Structure 1
């Protein structure tokens, strides 16, 4: 049940927004052709396991409950609409609602041009199969991947053919790996919170992620296309008879990305730069902050070049927009959303406003906040403004008191002691909770839990405050974070499901280039175990024909892409043999017996180095010490 404070907070939203406006529902359903029979896509490897099931969100068909923010409920109703849709008659189609992202199809002279391929091969293959059955059974002449995030590229093998041309923005495959490489384990643990992986699918738990519903889960692509073309700058190409203006937009929503204009169709594919939500200038799962000014500039470039030549707009997420006036207004307000947050954050910073004061100072004007597509279902003004501060000024707010803070455990101990003990702290928090001061109650209880994680009364009350805080969040991301915090405070640790880190898998490590692999192992190395070592290792992988040198000195591992002229030790083996040794799937004795393994020099120091690397698992605690 929602508290009276939550009910009141959520009820106010009906006065802020026009919920009688049904145009988004009409647009989201426009051009509907059909959907997947039964609404379920099965995994290739296990037919009993579902790749995607639209019925997991059937409860969204009901009236908005008191435990969900009304605008978020509306958004999730929209993004769950599923099936094959016609956007431009006989020309452009989309497969939506069976993944967090969209897959788009452009009809060329000889076949289909596919834009983005979803999260896995099964979902992508299903979308193409539906298109061929209902529209035209044509070959796939081209696949265009808009940017370097997995929900747009991992299904490529499900639709690619021998002669298919693949077009990507510069360094897409490399950046797909590198963006989440070195801090990937931490990102994946935090993603459990951000996307609510462990929450029950109902009105008191997970309702979506704001940008879409959820990701499909299945077989991932190998990324080895025969025919590849990289877009490194703005350029125009004709692909299968279709003219495409590619607009290169790096370092906004993704490290590498591109939008497209189709002159013959008077249509823009916005990739993930323009969406039916406020996006993240900082993603709470963790990543480098994004620059709102640059993001806005990319959108403005589209407006400047094509404003009078636009009839259709579609993107990598959400539903399309029709009509020149609607499109231009949509683009302008998305542009000004990010520019406003950027500019006003820096204005406030230059006035002396510190990072945690920004959410009370940076308030969107009504002209931007009153349109549904600028609302914070995914990103929020609160964390986006703090992201812009961090982008320019870093974590430190300039106050000496915050230069060398106490650790959470020590701060909890001192805080609770100063207030008069755990019992008094919990009592104060309970009073604050009952009076609607949720942030203060969270502060008090968090200190108690970090002082004494076995205080069950504090854990239970903090879980309830988190839960009620989640119920009034317009951002699905914030909702998921609060509700996951509540879950992990109350749930038996042995029952918590941790997402297995893809960055620690043998498959992932084998895909890494030589320097990426050893960059990763450098952050997995225990420094005290190698502090006496001063070595230069030349390493050759006989199966992948890669080689390079490793410099281990001062408890630091550096790597070079060429072998050293004067190594202290030389190692030759297959990449798979070494990776299995690193992830502890084989031991030293087994490794040494492998037929391809040859070591010349100080093998003890080499084995000391390998055995000092421990690929971590994303199971560390977050809501407690």
Structure 2
């Protein structure tokens, strides 16, 4: 997963930062219908709810927990609040009618929070963020694995560990992979000087920095907007709103940070002894993240699985949008884990959820997680080769009972339905082979024709109300989206579509699916929000971006039609990096490379000045006035270039045209 909540970098990201707030009064969620109650009751019958092994594992090793858990930043803003969930999620209460019982069970387990002993010298704090933070007792201090999303939550976790286990300095940090919930809180563990001096050393898989910085930059705006849906960021905390994110309750909203690794691990079997603790690494690039690694601790017979295996089915394609992951490679690396470490592992733990103990139990778990991804891959490709499309395959692939009834394979985060489509997309792309879909009409134009063909809006609404009363919410959502796109002013159409999406959300087993459905209903009822400043680039991330990555993003921001016919040639010198670049706007595209022989203007500035401009710490005019930015030649050429760059609106419409 990847979501950074911070106010920063509007220039580089090209995002128009929103300033207004949510509606003064939100429309409340409606009760579950009879059809939804029946669907959720069926879940109770279909799954082995009498199996309490997960609850035993989640409680095992418990040491202590604060009575309340609300974490604030230096200004007093709440960045993490587990208390808001306690009002309606409890281990001793049954699921409300408006929550899928299986998703509720996952939320109950994720609400078991505090400090836990995993095994000798290994401790975890769970429930302080979407992910877990792990503390390993080295000979002289703490070795920390995956320091959460925010510096504030990581600091709170460290303080609690020190209070209960004895104060120890942090001597090393290990990032398991390149998603922000596994590195974002790092600066909450030590001060800048400790990192700069090497007093605290940071370890990560090869290519970590490249992927941590690049993911969500090129398409960061649209991914962040869609992440609002995926994580149900604006939903109320009650039985009709946000329940669980699948991997944990939700994401913290504090200060995201990044410290560049001192050591990059390059190959499987590579060993490092960190503060007296031996670690053997297994590289798993291209699985859950493009840069990821598992870690085996021989002296503890403990296997750290990063996010390659958790207690849920994961995403092959995250709903916020990303490059499709490789299910076949994922299953192969899990098979390698079994082969290399299976017989020596007595405890398995990871960056989300709770551990497991016992070699036989863990091996069975690894096999079923391996076969989960292998089955979805193989059967999707099987059906693809028989001519079925992604939509058809998603209806046809059903897990066999031995995989389906296994709690860690349930779809709290990823689902069989959208993962099977992801497999199709990875191999076949967006086109399903039907000529009618090769150049079909866009949603708004198609919607008007659909509604016209169906006899007009009133006729569609009449039929949709009948189908809604039958509980056919998937169909009413399909039909009513055309009403809303054909007539955005249709209050009745938006209301019934919202009701349909809401019931689908109540029935969803996946936390992200629930978030997507209920956020759609939220916007149909309350309008498109304009609250906060959600972005995918923190100051540390901006500073870690190489110039080439910035130029790639500027090329994306270039407005092609406006740039048509323009020719602008610039050279940029970064003396502190001892690098020079040539930028050329020609044929309505931006290219960069070696310095150009003939240019309209030359810019000279340091990378630090470039970062300050991107972070809005200084304006272009101030940089020029201070002498930090020198422009030789036609200054108007640079101004014209800047005028060709688009600023992306964050709160664009999704469920309305």
TM range (shorter): over 0.9
Q: Which residue among 42, 60, 70 is the counterpart of 2:89?
A: 60
| Cα distance per residue 1:214-236 (max 9 Å; x no partner) | 122222224246xx110121112
Gap change, CA 1:32 and 1:457, over 3 Å in 2: same
* CA apart distance, 1:542: 5.2
Contact 2:397 2:416 in 1 (8 A): yes
* CA apart distance, 1:437: 1.6
Report the count of equivalent residues. Answer: 617
Distance 2:293 2:611 in 1: 34
* Matched residue, 2:595: 563
* CA apart distance, 1:196: 0.2
* CA apart distance, 1:581: 6.7
* Matched residue, 2:13: none
| Cα distance per residue 1:266-301 (max 9 Å; x no partner) | 110000000000000000000001111100011110
Gap change, CA 1:255 and 1:543, over 3 Å in 2: same
* CA apart distance, 1:501: 3.9
Distance 2:645 2:368 in 1: 49
Alignment of 1:285-364 (within 5 A): 285-364=320-399
* Matched residue, 1:233: 267
Gap change, CA 1:142 and 1:581, over 3 Å in 2: closer
| Cα distance per residue 1:20-54 (max 9 Å; x no partner) | 111111110111111235322221x31x2222122
* CA apart distance, 1:436: 1.8
Q: Report which stretch shifted further, 213-222 or 11-20.
A: 213-222
* CA apart distance, 1:96: 0.5
CA RMSD of aligned residues (A): 2.0
Distance 2:565 2:614 in 1: 20
Distance 2:161 2:432 in 1: 53
1:245 partner SS: strand
Q: Does 1:213 align with 2:228?
A: no
| Cα distance per residue 1:89-112 (max 9 Å; x no partner) | 3x1100100100001122222222
* CA apart distance, 1:533: 2.4
Gap change, CA 1:611 and 1:507, over 3 Å in 2: farther
Structure 2 alignment gaps of length 5 or more: 1-30
| Cα distance per residue 1:443-477 (max 9 Å; x no partner) | 11100111110000100100000101110010111
Contact 2:485 2:656 in 1 (8 A): yes
Gap change, CA 1:135 and 1:592, over 3 Å in 2: closer
Distance 1:584 1:138 in 2: 37
Q: Does 1:481 align with 2:512?
A: no
Contact 2:380 2:393 in 1 (8 A): yes
Distance 1:277 1:82 in 2: 18
2:89 partner SS: helix
1:444 partner SS: helix
* CA apart distance, 1:172: 1.1
* CA apart distance, 1:587: 7.4
Alignment of 1:183-582 (within 5 A): 183-224=219-260, 228-234=262-268, 235-493=270-528, 496-498=529-531, 500-503=533-536, 509-541=542-574, 546-560=579-593, 562-574=594-606
1:60 partner SS: coil
1:94 partner SS: strand
Distance 1:425 1:601 in 2: 63
Contact 1:113 1:141 in 2 (8 A): yes
User: Does 1 or 2 have the higher relative contact order (CA < 8 Å, sep 6+)?
Assistant: 2
2:370 partner SS: helix
2:354 partner SS: coil
Q: TM-score, normalised on structure 2?
A: 0.90
Q: Report which stretch shifted further, 584-593 or 256-265.
A: 584-593
* Matched residue, 1:7: 37
Q: TM-score, normalised on structure 1?
A: 0.95
Contact 1:267 1:310 in 2 (8 A): yes
Q: Does 1:104 align with 2:131?
A: no
Distance 1:248 1:127 in 2: 28
Distance 2:124 2:621 in 1: 54
Distance 1:158 1:577 in 2: 26
2:335 partner SS: helix
2:250 partner SS: coil
Gap change, CA 1:506 and 1:99, over 3 Å in 2: closer
* CA apart distance, 1:543: 6.3
* CA apart distance, 1:575: 5.1
Q: Report which stretch shifted further, 545-554 or 5-14.
A: 545-554
Contact 1:99 1:118 in 2 (8 A): yes
* Matched residue, 1:116: 146
Contact 1:529 1:608 in 2 (8 A): no
